[in-house]
């Protein structure tokens, strides 16, 4: 399958292509499906870093359609990793539901860079949702001794259950219901964040694009968070 103009653009930006092979599938919950893959040589070529993600290519009625997913438990030695799919109506979810061992899918690695703050921040202040949960877990694992507050937007209370290190000293998950296109999350974070922020905190935001931009602008312009202490990336677009 060709990747169209998007694939050409990614190539120009030094994107690297690989083919993944499904090893196993697992329904984690009613809304979450996990697939394990062999990496087609990717991890040995690119290395790994916290919150690392890849672009998968799906066929959508003959047109290329790409979506980004965060690696779960990458193992460079074995050349394996998992991906988690939040199930809803759409081509990517449909593919994940039906994928079987031996199925292959094309992927591109481009734009995924992230450097863990050094020295470690005094506190992680994280905003996300089910789409960014694997990245949240990866970030928390990379700084295991750092206290954290995670504002987690969800339509299902159990969606937050898979966040790593819940209930450990210094780490708190604040569940926020998805309402009014993310407005409830914006209101909650705008209220809570200033009280927890200090000069050595690190703010990490990854939810829908509009909400991410709104909260990133709030952190930068109104709270004065410097760019080296802020990471913001829109993981999806609301229809």
* Residue 207 three-state SS: coil
Q: In CATH, what number is assigned to the domain containing residue 175?
A: 3.40.50.80
Residues paired with residue 107 on neighbouring β-strands, in sequence order? 18, 56
Q: Which two tokens stand for residue 139?
A: 């970030």
For residue 31, the enclosing domain spans 4-109
Full DSSP string of 160-229 = GGG-TTTTSTTEEEEEEE--GGGHHHHHHHHHHHHHH--TTEEEEEESBHHHHHHHHHIIIIIT---GGG
Which residue, chain included where needed, has tokens 């209101």? 187
Provide the 10 A C-beta neighbour count for residue 59: 13
User: Among candidates 33, 8, 7, 22, which has minimal Cα distance to 130?
Assistant: 33
- Tokens, residue 134: 């694997």
Say whether both 84 and 175 belong to one domain. Answer: no
Tokens of 86: 């939040």
Using the 3D structure, point to which of 109, 136, 168 is the last residue of a domain: 109
pLDDT, residue 11, reads 52
Last residue of a domain, one of 83, 109, 135: 109
167 closest CA partner among 188, 179, 150, 189: 150
Looking at the domain assignment, is residue 239 inside a domain? Answer: no
Each residue's pLDDT expressed in tens, for the chain with a length of 239 residues: 566 655 555 554 467 899 999 999 998 877 788 999 999 999 999 999 999 999 999 988 888 888 899 999 999 999 999 999 988 778 888 999 999 999 999 999 987 778 888 888 999 999 999 889 999 999 999 998 899 999 999 877 677 667 876 667 789 999 999 888 889 999 999 999 999 999 999 999 999 999 999 999 999 999 999 999 999 988 877 65
Write the CATH number for 63.
2.40.30.10
Residues 102, 184 within the same domain: no
Q: Is 31 a domain residue? A: yes
Give 216's strand partners: none
Q: Number of folded domains in the chain?
A: 2
């Amino acid at each position: 399958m060709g990747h169209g103009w998007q694939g050409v653009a990614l190539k120009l930006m030094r994107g690297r292509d690989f083919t993944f092979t499904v090893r196993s599938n697992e329904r984690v919950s009613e809304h979450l499906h996990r697939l394990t893959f062999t990496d087609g040589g990717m991890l040995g070529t690119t290395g790994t870093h916290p919150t690392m993600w890849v672009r998968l290519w799906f066929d959508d009625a003959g047109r290329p359609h790409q979506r980004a997913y965060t690696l779960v438990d990458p193992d460079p030695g074995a050349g394996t990793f998992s991906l988690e799919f939040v199930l809803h109506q759409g081509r990517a979810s449909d593919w994940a539901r039906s994928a079987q061992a031996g199925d292959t899918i094309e992927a591109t690695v481009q734009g995924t860079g992230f450097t863990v703050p050094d020295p470690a921040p005094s506190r992680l202040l994280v905003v996300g949702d089910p789409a960014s949960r694997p990245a949240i877990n990866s970030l928390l694992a990379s700084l295991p001794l750092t206290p954290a507050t995670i504002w987690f937007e969800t339509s299902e209370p159990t969606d937050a259950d898979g966040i790593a290190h819940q209930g450990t000293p210094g780490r708190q998950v604040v569940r926020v219901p998805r309402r009014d296109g993310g407005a409830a999350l914006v209101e909650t974070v705008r209220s809570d964040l200033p009280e927890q922020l200090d000069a050595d905190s690190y703010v990490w935001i990854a939810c829908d694009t509009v909400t991410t931009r709104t909260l990133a602008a709030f952190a930068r312009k109104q709270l004065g968070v410097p760019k080296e202490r802020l990471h913001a990336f829109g993981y999806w677009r609301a229809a």
